[in-house]
Amino acid sequence: MKRFRRHGHESQRDKHKQDLYQFNKTVEHGFPHQPSALGFSPSLELLAIGTRSGAIKLYGTPGVEFMGLHDENAAVTQVHFLPNQVGMVTLLDDNSLHMWTLRAHNGMSELLEIGRFTLSGPPGAPPSVTRVTAVLAHSSGELLMLGTEGGHVFVVEVPGFKELEENNISVENVQNRIPEDYVGRRNLECVEALHENPLNPRQVLIGYSRGLMVLWDLDRQRPIQHFLCTQQLESVWWMEDGVNILSSHSDGSYCQWTVTGEDPQTEPEKQETPYGAFPCKAISKIIQLPSKQGPPFLIFSGGMPRASYGDRHCISVIHSKFHEALDFTSRIIDYFSVMVPLHAFFCEPSALVVLVEEELVVVDLQSEGWPVIQTPYLVPLHCSAITCSHHVSSIPLKLWERVQAAGAQQTTHYSRKPWPIIGGQNLSPDPPQRDLLLTGHEDGTVRFWDASGVCLYPMYKLSTAGVFLTDADPNDNMNQGSEGEWPPFRKVGCFDPYSDDPRLGIQKIHLCKYSGYLTVAGTAGQILILELNDEGAEQMVEATVVDLLQGQEGFRWKGQARLDVREEPVLFPPGFQPFALVQCQPPAVITAIALHSEWKLVAFGTSHGFGFYDYHQKNNIMVKCTLSPSDQVAMEGPLSRVKSIKKSLRQSFRRIRRSRVSMRKHHTTNAAKVHIAEALHEMELAPVQRKIEARSSDDSFTGLVRTLYFADTFVSDSSHSTPSLWAGTNGGAVFAYVLRVPSLERRAEDPVVAHAAKEIQLMHRAPVVGLVVLDGKGTPLPEPLEVAHDLARSPEMHGSHHLLVVSEEQFKLFTLPKVSSKSKLKLTAVDGSRVRRVGVAWFGSRTDEQLESSLVVLTNQGELHVISLPSIKMMVRYPCIRKDDVSGIASCVFTKYGQGFYLMSPSEFERFSLSTRWVVEPRCLVEAPLQMRPKNPSSPVHRDQPDGVPTEHRCVCVCSCVIVQDPLFLSCCQGLTKVSLN
């Protein structure tokens, strides 16, 4: 007999799905991985960053963000904005140029690629003829000048990318006009710099790497003046007056030249080596900015003494008697200055924006001491390697304000100046709720981030290292240079990849938003319980050692040692302060924790077993060893050798940083490479695909505890509910314990008692990754204290409860208290899909206030599944993460309202949403600037020529004869077609 589908029912179900579920990747939080280029538009006030993977990202005022991706798998080497337009040009390392624009659509702007172009040279010409090395976006907004490796300069119309051959400047044309006394008319080599006269856009300075600089007249197609340098040219800067030029060179020197019209000029007006007289590294870039207080700001990168400080990444800032060498912990990509107007014809620098390989640093040049300005985005999430994440939704206002206040006291060293990049309009509505994302790090810190909106903003940092005696070297302090040190170093930025002791690494975090209790667990079996305190306090942290082996014989731990606890009182600043510490023995990695703040209990698990601790009475309640005789690998600690190798590597790299002797550096690096190879050989990566099959009880790590869950439910009988703890292991076992928690009046005197009640063994022995108890209405039990705060209804205790056991392979529903199987859903038995992450989320449509609870699942194939509760039926499935991105899948964390985060790179979280109701994404608008529009004098302005290279911005572009009475520039009145007063 045929079965007929009920079309009405199916269409209703599909409509229901469309109302509730919709998958979107919404925003990328953090710092772009492997940045390679920096650009800035003074007219749009937008910052652009290009990466080695071909991504291009734009940032303006907080909340204004755009992202684009080139089709070519090539690095972005240069970014240039077109002046006074909403367009920009990118250059890739495959020598292709790409045109981008911000186009309005449905009231918002979108970043779109609208064209691409590659220079084509004459037939048979070598690639160097058209290999682009320098780009000038002309202030007319209509031309690009492209300097090449072969010394030619090509002129191209934009946005159409039409080459204007009659305006090209060939290397032969330049060489023919070089004075005879220029030694042997030597090869000029590549074009290193192209700069427009800040007062006359028809004059362009061409700098060749061999040392020659040529001032070229675009109208008459001839040189005006030559400047002959003896050292290799690195960069050029044209001062505001249009008369003086700075050039920096490969020997660590810089020169000042004067435009006189007399040809040639073989001697500079001034030549200086800031960090001589010993050989110095090249000054890769130099700028000079006017100041209302006497001398100008001189800013340059590099130039360090080669033998002593050649490995430092420094930008020097010199102003009057103040001189600092800003010392960064990663390679400098590029930098530019932000200018503010003082009056109609004068600006001075407000901030220095520096892009380095691992972070963006903004230095306030107007405040004493030149402090750093806190960035609202592009904050380096990976300042220490991220080891775990924890998301908490709908934070109560009081807790939010207390965390905010504690964080504010930590940021007193930051500048109070406002964020200087203020382009675009943020159209995103205010976040409907306050969300926190907590990230644990390898150095033992936990960082609190405001995850409510588009910008992932740092709120507060907790450090756990002070509780323990670590391997920190007190002499290994590179933060501040000693007084009188030369060069005068000052470390800036917060990126620090070195951890004093890898055992401090954070593995699990749980925050109760109602009570303010926080549990943090680490790599060496340590579990800290902390409470929020608005005042600083000096106190001892009581430690309790818990033996998870329960005296079993025949096992010998070969892994890391337990962390030593400080025996004297420790001064803790305002914020979360530890008051209790549990240390597991053996000190293996904590694999699961659960916090119940109403009962004041913490459960913890490792590869050896689990237990739970009463942090009210500060004593351990119960321990269960889950080891089997075959778990020798778990006992010996397979990661112990890898950890020791990591520690030796860290120490080796520190020696490299301290060492100034090249031979010692060479040998240390080679030894480090050998250790890395050994470590990678020993570490096993999780398989991406594996056919599902029954597991043997002899598998290693079967006793590893994967999940812990507190529940007030029916365990012993169906008439009386009782507090309970449930634990799931890697071997497919589930243990249930009944707890007797004293009443509130007797809680401080009577002990909490636990005894074993149930044990479930899954037939396929698949690892248990999640446990959920559903009440009489099929709804997951509320969080501890949620009902007491009137934020959830009381669970239904009259109907029968159910236990949902989520293993890597299937979802199985058991009735309680009998623990009999009711229904199940197999994930798959063919393509090797396995559950990697699971969470309970609430979904609702945009029009209906009613919410539904569902199970959100991520598999090892990178797919997201939404499964209905309590029917455990598959609702929707979406591809999300590449299946070969093992670290991305392992880092995923779900929110309570159908969103999620995962690490798309070591420094970036990708945010996604499965809900139609709750979506956080940038909604912004960037409008084309109006010509001749007066600027608000309170807002920053920037050098207006051209928007591409950051060091070429100016405050005002006017006819030079208005300011400088010099007959050399009188022709500019006829040549200047646009006058822009910012």
pLDDT of residue 941: 40
The share of the chain scoring above pLDDT 70, in percent, equals 84
Range from 80-89, 90-99, 680-689, 758-767 carrying the lowest mean pLDDT? 680-689
SS3 15: helix
Is residue 928 predicted with pLDDT exceeding 90?
Answer: no
Q: What is the mean pLDDT of residues 469-498?
A: 73
Q: Tell me, what's the pLDDT at 555?
A: 79
Strand-pair category, 489-491 with 322-328: parallel
Q: What pLDDT, on a 0 to 100 scale, did the predictor assign at position 963? A: 30
Q: What is the mean pLDDT of the chain?
A: 86
Residue 17: Cβ-neighbour burial (10 angstroms; 0-12, 13-18, 19+): middle
Comparison of pLDDT for 981 and 768, the residue scoring more:
768
Beta strands in 831-873 (DSSP E): 835-843, 852-859, 863-868
**pLDDT of 473 higher than 70:** no
pLDDT at 779: 95
Cα–Cα–Cα angle for 251, 243, 174, rounded to 5 degrees: 65
Which amino acid, 397? Answer: L
Measure the CA–CA gap between 841 and 828, rounded to whole angstroms: 22
Q: Is the pLDDT of residue 662 over 50?
A: no
d(CA 783, CA 349): 52
Closest to 709 measured CA to CA, from 812, 626, 595 = 595
**CB under 8 Å to 109, separation ≥6 — which residues?**
66, 86, 102, 103, 424, 924, 925, 926
Q: Which residues, in sequence order, are bridge partners of residue 78? A: 91
**pLDDT tens digit sequence for 263-275:** 777 789 999 999 9
Q: Which 8-state DSSP code applies to residue 181? A: T
Q: Is the pLDDT at 127 greater than 80, yes or no?
A: yes
Angle formed by the axes of helices 640-658 and 662-682, to 10°? 160
How many of the other CB atoms lie within 10 Å of CB of 418?
Answer: 12
Beta carbons of 86 and 114 less than 8 angstroms apart = no
Averaged pLDDT for residues 597-626 = 96
- Please check the confidence at residue 15 and state whether its pLDDT lies above 90: no
Paired strand residues for 527 = 521, 582
Q: What is the pLDDT of residues 196-246, one digit of tens each?
A: 999 999 999 999 999 999 999 999 999 999 998 889 999 999 998 899 999
Q: Is 467 exposed, middle or buried (0-12, 13-18, 19+ CB in 10 A)?
A: buried
pLDDT of residue 482: 59
Per-residue model confidence (pLDDT) at position 919 = 93
Tokens of 464: 């756990």
What's 210-266 look like in SS3?
A: CCEEEEEECCCCEEEEEEECCCCEEEEEECCCCCEEEEEECCCCEEEEECCCCCCEC
Q: What is the DSSP letter of 362?
A: E
User: If pLDDT is split at 50, 70 and 90, which confidence band does 292 have?
Assistant: confident
pLDDT of residue 354: 98
pLDDT at 756: 95
Decide: pTM greater than 0.75: yes
Peptide bond into 870 cis (omega under 30): yes
Between 65 and 674, the higher pLDDT residue? 65
Q: 298-330 pLDDT, tens per residue?
A: 999 999 999 999 999 999 999 999 999 999 999
Average pLDDT value for residue range 479-498: 81
The tokens 């902390």 sit on which residue?
530
Mean pLDDT of 557-564: 92
pLDDT band, residue 481 (cuts 50/70/90): low
Question: Which amino acid, 127?
Answer: P
SS3 of 652, please?
A: helix
Dist CA 603 CA 721 (whole Å)? 20
Select from 797, 800, 805, 795 the least CA-distant residue to 815.
800
- Say yes or no to pLDDT of 961 above 80: no
pLDDT band at 262 (very low <50, low <70, confident <90, very high): confident
**Per-residue pLDDT for 950 more than 50?**
no
CA distance 941 to 387: 41
Cα separation of 900 and 893, whole Å? 6
Whole-angstrom distance between the N-terminal and C-terminal Cα of the chain? 81
pLDDT in tens, 422-433: 999 999 988 889
Q: What is the pLDDT of residues 781-834, one digit of tens each?
A: 999 999 999 888 999 998 899 999 999 999 999 999 999 999 999 987 556 799
Q: What amino acid occupies position 687?
A: P
